[in-house]
Amino acid sequence: MPEPTVPSACGLRQQPASTPEAGGLPLGTELMTFPPLVEGTLLRRYKRFLADVALADGSTVTAHCPNTGPMSGVLHPGGRVRLRHAPSPSRKLAWSWEQAEVMGAAGEPVWVGVNTALANRLVRAAIEAGALAPWLGPIDRIRGEVPYGPNRRSRIDLLVEGPAGAVHLEVKNTTWCDGDLALFPDTVTERGQKHLLDLKTVAQTGSALLVPCLSRPDVTRFAPGDAADPRYGALFRDAVLGGVRVLPCRFAFEAAAIHWHGVCPVRLSQLDIV
């Protein structure tokens, strides 16, 4: 049976149907640079927010873990990780865990971005560089954390405004995969479920876009993580039928830069139930 794909909706152009495509930016384009990260070996992650890492000079540091989820498939004590060193009087910890090395879908090591707080900035950088121009069209401005939804109690990650109107855009950092199939979420997420309901409401009168931020270059497709959160999967399919668009954006991570690796096609389910 052919894999189900996401239909077009809300005035945005059709989703690519079978293979990743570059969009409005050449594959491999550098989107973000930063001082080189420091490599080490992960000893343990604990209390959700903390990770002990052994550095090359023999010292051990405690780093902030900016990913509170289970980190399925990327949490490997003894594996290589990359840290950002950013001492500040306002920070309790001088180190932050940014990337983890895993065995990729093709059997070769790849680096995965584990900092969930980076996803919004990364997707915004891709939009500003024109990577999503084929789907978003001309853009006048981008705003972040804009109130919306019933009683305006929710905040959309990005509100993209242009001549054709506004697009409400929700970003989800995605690191879990099964082979080359990227999956979100990797655990039950009531917050994520609510976001789908809010996006579906927006799509009734406007444009709503879910952007899984695929923080690893070895995946080629995206699906909801039904095995981890069946309700999210059901709400995902309902949202798509209700007009919510899905545009998985893929990135490659290096020690001092992040590169654009295109837009991937969508499956409506992780499981063979659709």
Whole-angstrom distance, CA of residue 41 vs CA of residue 258: 21
Lowest mean pLDDT among 102-116, 137-151, 241-255: 137-151
The Cα 80–Cα 87 span in angstroms is 22
Q: What is the DSSP string of 4-29?
A: P-PPP-TTPPPPP-SS-B-TTS-TT-
| Residue type at position 18 | S
pLDDT at 3 exceeding the cut of 80 = no
Bridge partners of 165? 162
This prediction's pTM: 0.91
Specify whether the CB–CB gap between 126 and 260 falls below 8 A.
yes
Beta-bridged to residue 60, according to DSSP, are 54
Whether the bond between 224 and the residue before it is cis, its omega within 30 degrees of 0, is no
Report the distance separating Cα 127 and Cα 36, nearest Å.
24
Which of left, alpha, beta for 227 (phi over 0: left; psi -120 to 50: alpha)? alpha
Structural domains in the chain?
38-113 (2.40.50.580), 115-263 (3.40.1350.60)
Tell me the average pLDDT of the chain: 91
Q: pLDDT of 36-95, one tens digit each?
A: 999 999 999 999 999 999 999 999 999 999 999 999 999 999 999 999 998 989 889 999
Which of 27, 30, 180, 41 shows the shortest CA–CA distance to 101? 41
Q: Residue range 126-147: average pLDDT? A: 96
